[in-house]
Chain A
Amino acid sequence: MFEIIKPGTKIDFMGKSKLFFIISGLLVLLSIVIIFTKGFNLGIDFAGGTVIQVRFDSPPKLDLLRENIKKLNLGDVVIQNFGDEREVLIRVEKTNQDLNAVANDIKKALSGSFKGNKFIVERVEQVGPQVGSELQKKATMAVIYALIGILIYVTVRFEFIFSLGAVLALFHDVIITLGAFSLASKEINLPIVAAVLTIVGYSLNDTIVVYDRIRERMRNSTAKINLIDLINQSINETLSRTLLTSFTTFLAVLALYLFGSEVIKNFSFALLVGIIVGTYSSIGIASALVYSIKNIKKA
């Protein structure tokens, strides 16, 4: 029998819960500090603006391109290679100009700059400022509604204390993932919100499995067993499953990150971070939180 975790493994997770709380607390704090000081690199979905992806026949001189586009007075323009050297991504922050005019101006500037070097416009994405803020609102609401839905479900199936622990653990996962995004200056767009919500669902999945085991043990234990031991036992018993599933999911998403298209890279990055953080929080934080909240209530 192949086993990552040998049966009868008894790691004292609860005993280390203080350490986990400190680590998590620091990570969350650090993430919040990073987010507040560094901010997010909001993609055009939320910030509004224009992104044009162009593919040239041969690698173009980016400096020349920058110069020519600067002449258009479009404000902040970011020009960078995307994937390979022949692909260029031009990003224009929101302007008051008509979206269509911005795109046409850039195309004109391109054909002016590179007479011999043919290019095709592969992608144009433009979001007006109004739509951007609307999408931002919608995305935030989506995350909040998802959390409320989960809160209700867990409360009904388990106990309110469990659902509180689960949702706190989810906040932990979401904040750290967003912190990683802020730190790496990775762009946040609509698909990232989808990724974050998936992390919410995924990490919760792990947590619920542990909770389930705790509930089952509570029901079945005849003798008065110490709650700490009971939680420890439950985490250990589900540990190999938690790690296994996280591992297979990690494998699949890693394939996506390494071999998927450029556009999907940020998305899979969020999932990779989320899977790691989510797995950790399900093992180290979620159940310990339930215990702590119970104790606080008693006190």
Chain B
Amino acid sequence: MKYKFRWAIIFIVVIGSLISLYPINEKIKLGLDLRGGMYVLLGVDVDKAVDAKLDTLVTQIKKDLRNEEIGFNFVKKEKDKIVIALKDNSVDKMKKLLSKNYPILKESSISENELLVEYQLDPKEVQKIKDYAVEQAAQVIRNRVDQFGVTEPIIQRQGEKNILVQLPGITDPDRALKLIGKTAQLKFYLVDDTVTSSDIASGNIPFDDIILYKKVIDKRTGKVIENTPFALKRDAVLTGDYLVDAEVRISSQFNEPYVLIKFDSAGAKLFGEITKNNVGKRLAIVLDNNVYSAPVIREAIMGGEAQITGNFTMEEAKDLAIVLRAGSLPAPVKVLENRTVGPSLGKDSIQKGIKASLIGLILVIGFMAVYYKFSGIIADIALLLNLVIILGVMGMFKATLTLPGIAGLILTIGMSVDANVLIFERIREEVRLGRTALSAIEAGFEKAMSTILDANITTLIAAVVLFQFGTGPVKGFAVTLSIGILASMFTAIFVSRTIFLQLYETKKSRKLSI
């Protein structure tokens, strides 16, 4: 064996490819379009997070002003500003207080008599709030998905305010979407019993009240069967921030599931105080601005536990417990893009894809063998090796095979014989010029080399651009195409050359079959 070294390389590449392919179903991951699953791009409403921050600031500033006994008519949020109207000229005192306690606020304008002062959030702070909202939303969604039980989920921040969620093999996409998208802001409000239902109907309610609805939907028909308005005291008395746990229980009375929530010690203390001070009144439990229930407080509740009831199915109760445990989203999210493929369609795509690949492969192999005879068979060996290497490299990088990826594979089958065709045509030319077999082969490989390089590198440029700018399945296509181009160069230039040299060098008289 004169070409020991060359054979060794080929051997290593082939064995390496085969090893990195084993076990194939673990190594080559199927994309969501083939295995079924869900791809959701969520947009976080970051402006709402900034808004919420301003709301909290307003409440805190009010409290601080009262503590420092600075008289004010109002402190309110106006678009992206906080406006403070002072009673008397204590503006210096207020400014000092604010710059000490709220360095993130910058004064933006002041009225002539110095009674009306506007503050704005520092732009850097705004950016920080937005950033944090997206990060936190991703974290919360991750927690929820983990508890939901999906294997190999991908939750990733994308761009400035988007979150990408990929859930392979999901069977109930609607449920998953609800679970991911729920803001889950839990709030407790006192019901304003002084407001009658006719007041609500006429809109004649106190300025510090809000109206929220209890909406009950019939599970079978999907129709709204109850839509009761409640007049609530505007400031929530307690929020879900104090929550430490939520679990599903079954009530012994009605045999219905409900969700039991537990507060941390501070929350338990607060909850105890609220219930103690408001015995006889009703406390509304509100999730995402939807009133779940509004039970009458019969006695002070000191244990730090509360129940959320609401005509739940077991599944709904479980999902509610999950979102409560995982925490609320710092800002609402909106579905920007949703691609869901059922498992049966995926299976169908794979079967058809494999069938098409095999037919394409057989056609090309057959054609090469007929057209170039024995040399064609060498090219066919290179082609098959090429496929093994492509799959091997994909296995090595744990690449994902998508439907367009299969297409890329088929395209590669057709194109990968190109390098060999280029070489063979050159060899034929040399044979016509009357060269011997071996020198024709050598000249053929030599001369075809730069053409092969130029031709393939340009295609590779297109593939790399595809990878850079493509998303999802298109990326998969670019990957298979790029690997295919590189592998075909290796097999055509190196592998078939080795085979040719091995066969023809020793027998100088042997006639070329090409």
A residues with a Cβ closer than 8 A to B are 1-2, 7, 53, 55, 98-100, 103-104, 107-108, 120-128, 130-131, 135, 138-139, 141-142, 145-146, 149-150, 153-154, 157, 190-191, 193-194, 197-198, 200-202, 204-206, 208-209, 211-213, 216, 237-238, 240-241, 244-245, 247-256, 258-261, 263-264, 267-268, 271
| Closest B residue by C-beta to A267 | B407
What are the interface flags for B402-423 relative to A under an 8 Å C-beta threshold, 1 for contact and 0 otherwise?
Answer: 0110110011011101100110
A251–B371 Cα distance when bound, in Å, is 14
Could you pull out 24 A-B pairs where Cβ atoms are within 8 angstroms? A2-B373, A7-B432, A108-B222, A121-B342, A127-B336, A127-B337, A128-B337, A138-B469, A142-B466, A145-B465, A153-B461, A198-B477, A198-B481, A201-B460, A201-B461, A244-B421, A247-B367, A248-B415, A249-B415, A255-B363, A256-B360, A261-B348, A263-B403, A271-B407
Partner of A259, one of B341, B352, B421: B352
Are A240 and B335 in contact, CB atoms less than 8 angstroms apart?
no
- Does residue B87 face the partner (Cβ distance < 8 Å to A)? no
User: Do A261 and B353 have beta carbons less than 8 Å apart?
Assistant: yes
Q: Are B364 and A248 in contact (CB under 8 A)?
A: yes
Contact A256-B336, Cβ < 8 Å, known A142-B466, A198-B462: no
Question: Hey, which chain A residues are within 8 Å of B337, CB to CB?
Answer: 99, 126-128, 131
Q: Are A154 and B336 in contact (CB under 8 A)?
A: no
> Which residues on the B side are within 8 Å of A238 (C-beta)?
425
* Complex contact A201–B364 (CB within 8 A): no
| A126 CB contacts on chain B under 8 angstroms | 335, 337-339
Report B-chain residues with C-beta under 8 Å of the C-beta of A108. 222
Decide: B474 and A193 in contact? CB cutoff 8 A. yes
Contact B373 A271 (CB under 8 A): no
Task: Name the interface residues of B85-136: CB closer than 8 Å to any CB of A.
Answer: none
Asked if A124 and B173 sit within 8 Å, CB to CB, the answer is: yes
Asked if B364 and A251 make an inter-chain contact with CB atoms under 8 angstroms apart, the answer reads yes
Given A205-B418, A252-B413, A260-B356, 10 more contacts at CB 8 Å? A124-B339, A128-B334, A141-B469, A142-B469, A149-B465, A209-B455, A237-B429, A256-B407, A258-B356, A264-B406
Contact B407 A1 (CB under 8 A): no
Residues of B participating in the A interface, judged by any CB pair closer than 8 Å: 33, 41, 43, 173-174, 177, 181, 222, 334-342, 344-345, 348-349, 352-353, 355-357, 359-361, 363-364, 367-368, 370-373, 403-404, 406-407, 410-411, 413-415, 417-418, 421-422, 425, 428-429, 432, 447, 450-451, 454-466, 468-474, 477-478, 481, 514
Min CB distance B172 to A, Å, is: 11
Question: Are A100 and B338 closer than 8 Å at their CB atoms?
Answer: yes
Complex Cα spacing A104 to B338, Å: 13
Are B469 and A139 touching (Cβ within 8 A)? yes
Cα distance A187–B6 when bound, in Å?
Answer: 48
Minimum Cβ distance to chain A for residue B295 (Å): 31
Q: Is the CB–CB distance between A201 and B372 below 8 Å?
A: no
A150 cross-chain contacts in B, Cβ below 8 A:
458, 461-462
Known contacts: A99-B335, A146-B462. The answer to whether A190 contacts B473 by CB under 8 A is yes
B403–A145 touching, CB < 8 Å: no
Q: DSSP class of A's interface residues: helix, strand, loop or mixed?
A: helix
A149 CB contacts on chain B under 8 angstroms: 461-462, 464-465
Say whether A245 contacts B407, CB under 8 Å.
no
Q: Are A260's CB and B461's CB within 8 A?
A: no
By beta carbon, the residue of chain B nearest A268 is: B407
* Assembly CA distance A194 to B421 (angstroms): 25
CB neighbours of B470 from chain A (8 A) = 142, 190, 193-194
**Nearest CB of chain A from residue B40's CB, rounded to whole Å:** 9
Q: Is the CB of A248 within 8 A of B461?
A: no
Which residues on the A side are within 8 Å of B432 (C-beta)? 7
When C-beta atoms are compared, the residue in chain B nearest to A127 turns out to be: B337
Complex interface: chain B residues within 8 A of A241 (CB): 421-422, 425
B471 touches A190 (CB 8 A): yes
For A259, the chain B residues whose CB sits under 8 A away are 352, 355-356, 359
**CB atoms of A103 and B458 under 8 A apart:** no
Closest 4 CB pairs of A and B: A252-B414, A249-B414, A201-B462, A201-B459
**Which of A108, A237, A238, A256 counts the most chain B CB atoms within 10 A?**
A256
Q: Hey, which chain A residues are within 8 Å of B461, CB to CB?
A: 146, 149-150, 153, 201
Evaluate contact between B410 and A255: CB separation under 8 angstroms. yes
Interface pair B418/A261, CB less than 8 Å apart: no
Residues of A within 8 A of B421 (CB): 241, 244-245, 248
Contact of A153 among B336, B406, B457 (CB under 8 A): B457
B290 to chain A, nearest CB (A): 16
Residue pair B363, A252 in contact (C-beta under 8 Å): yes
Give Cα distance in the complex from A154 to B359, angstroms. Answer: 35
Q: Are B339 and A194 in contact (CB under 8 A)?
A: no
Contact of A200 among B417, B425, B462 (CB under 8 A): B462
User: Known contacts A145-B465, A251-B363, A251-B364; is A128 also within 8 Å of B474 by CB?
Assistant: no
- When C-beta atoms are compared, the residue in chain B nearest to A139 turns out to be B469
With A and B bound together, what is the CA distance between A154 and B345 in angstroms? 43
Q: Do B474 and A190 have beta carbons less than 8 Å apart?
A: yes
A103 to B38, CA, bound (A): 14
Is the pair A125, B469 in contact by a Cβ cutoff of 8 Å? no
